[in-house]
Amino acid sequence: MIGISLAKKMVAEMGMGMSMRAGSSGYLEMHPERKITFFQNPYIVGITFAAGLGGLLFGYDTGVVSGALLYIKEDFELVRNSSFIQEVIVGMALIGAIFGAAIGGVINDHLGRKTATIIADICFGAGSVIMGLAGNPYVIIFGRFLVGLGVGSASVTAPVYIAEVSPSEIRGGLVSANTLMITAGQFLSFIVNYGLTRVPGTWRWMLGLSGFPAVLQFVLISFLPESPRWLYMKNRREEAILVLSKIYSSPRLEDEIKILDDLLLQEPESKASVKYTDVFTNKEIRVAFTFGAGLQALQQFAGISIIMYYSPTIIQMAGFKSNQSALFLSLIVSGMNAAGTILGIYLIDLAGRKKLALGSLSGVLVSLIILSTSCYLMGHGNTGQTLGWIAILGLALYILFFAPGMGPVPWTVNSEIYPEEYRGLCGGMSATVNWICSVIMSTSFLSVVDAIGLGESFIILLVVSVIAIVFVIFLMPETKGLTFEEVAYIWKERAYGRDKTTASLAEKEALSS
């Protein structure tokens, strides 16, 4: 742990017998009785669930279109005859998410995590009603854009909100629970898709049902508190302490309050003057954002949007032609996605973010070798169902390996690597990068397949996965168990060097412990 390990060493060398200062990971090593386990506090679990409903909506609205598209094509000749219109229907929610993420970051910082969630729910609800009643493809596209605004805002708000109410020792698992809600939403969308295959107005029900979770979250969020760290940032100390008192018990409560009091005294001016240009002119913020946005980009360029949005189409390309068969096999793949995410929740605070990402990408690489090889052979005159089943195996393995690691890790890391005053802004900007890359992948996939073939398209994803592995090995720090303040030391050191920052910060901590 950069900086913090140095601080501990200095304390030991100076012979100080005092306990490690609150606000460092060593604090909980010295006071293990003050640790909070995953299900110990129902209040934290309740906030995680309510905030995570945004993830459920995120997953449902991005996943449901894969099945709905099969039936929209049957109802509208324009859609059936144009790969471009199909890509627009899929991609418009992602375009909306770009704007939602950018605007959501600003709303998070100025109006709070709670207000941002409420606005997202309104977008979800309005978009679902419009899509369910749509009379032509263009109205569907407009409804998808509104839903996308909600998806983008939720993708920023939920991880930050959960991270800021989470004790550091279980923060990774709780933020990953939001990713579980996303994959659960995608799984639910495939269940709904498969269950509605013989219902009149199939795609209308598929797209319209997303309004119900939005209403549920709107009601629940009304009873939730604002993030205590945001309240502190806005000088609403008493409200923040009330929230903290429901998360921590004494004596840790007093220690956590002291940490936030110190932060409030340290940077009052910077909290009041944060702006977009700071992300590029402030060296340590730029270094953190470059890594965070790069990780988000690689998550998408590794192909997850393609796999989730087009899995029924890919399955049909692999030789399973009926809508029902394609949706049923996609349901199994989506179920593996949710199961893999549950594994990720357990591993992210145990193995750490970096090891989990590397293991995930290594499995993705093997999966894409299987998938690209089988699809390449099918595309070059080799027929038979065996290759089709091998392609399905590659598809399933891709999800099984991607879900525990590269699914939750980019969102978790981006919720914890930025300083308090930049967390909403940078989180929104990095999520915007994610959605831009998602749009690029989802709106170009069918066209790329038409141009070069399905197997060749997966070879491109394979190359990206190799690049992602190199990126993680050389640029990703381990943030497991670190407090927000400790993570900030990492970027200070990378930006300015240890002599100028880490040593002085460590010395300050050692002397104050």
Q: What is the pLDDT of residues 190-206, one digit of tens each?
A: 788 778 877 777 788 88
What pTM was computed for the model? Answer: 0.72
Say if residues 37 and 499 touch (Cβ distance below 8 Å): no
pLDDT of residue 25: 59
Cβ neighbours of 76 (radius 10 Å): 18
Tell me how long the chain is: 513
> What sign has the CA pseudo-torsion 471, 474, 480, 484?
negative
Tokens standing for residue 330:
């996609």
Say if residues 386 and 366 touch (Cβ distance below 8 Å): no
Distance between CA atoms of residues 243 and 234, nearest Å: 14
Say if residues 367 and 401 touch (Cβ distance below 8 Å): yes
Distance between CA atoms of residues 367 and 392, nearest Å: 10
Based on the number of CB atoms within 10 Å of its own CB, is 427 exposed (0-12), middle (13-18) or buried (19 or more)?
A: buried
Based on the number of CB atoms within 10 Å of its own CB, is 99 exposed (0-12), middle (13-18) or buried (19 or more)?
A: middle
Tell me: domain 38-224+281-496, CATH 1.20.1250.20, correct? yes
Say if residues 172 and 120 touch (Cβ distance below 8 Å): no
Say if residues 466 and 333 touch (Cβ distance below 8 Å): no
Distance between CA atoms of residues 494 and 283, nearest Å: 9
Residue among 174, 41, 149, 132 nearest 96 (CA): 149
Tokens standing for residue 491:
């970027």
Tokens standing for residue 429:
């900007």
Tokens standing for residue 159:
């991880």
3 state SS of 60: helix
pLDDT of residue 393: 92
HEC sequence for 23-53:
CCHHHHHHCHHHCCCCCCCHHHHHHHHHHHH
Residues in the chain, pLDDT under 50: 1-21, 269-270, 500-513
Based on the number of CB atoms within 10 Å of its own CB, is 228 exposed (0-12), middle (13-18) or buried (19 or more)?
A: buried
pLDDT of residue 504: 39
pLDDT of residue 453: 92
Tokens standing for residue 25:
């990971």
Distance between CA atoms of residues 246 and 420, nearest Å: 21
The dihedral over CA atoms of 408, 413, 418, 419, expressed in degrees to the nearest 10, equals 100
Say if residues 132 and 208 touch (Cβ distance below 8 Å): yes
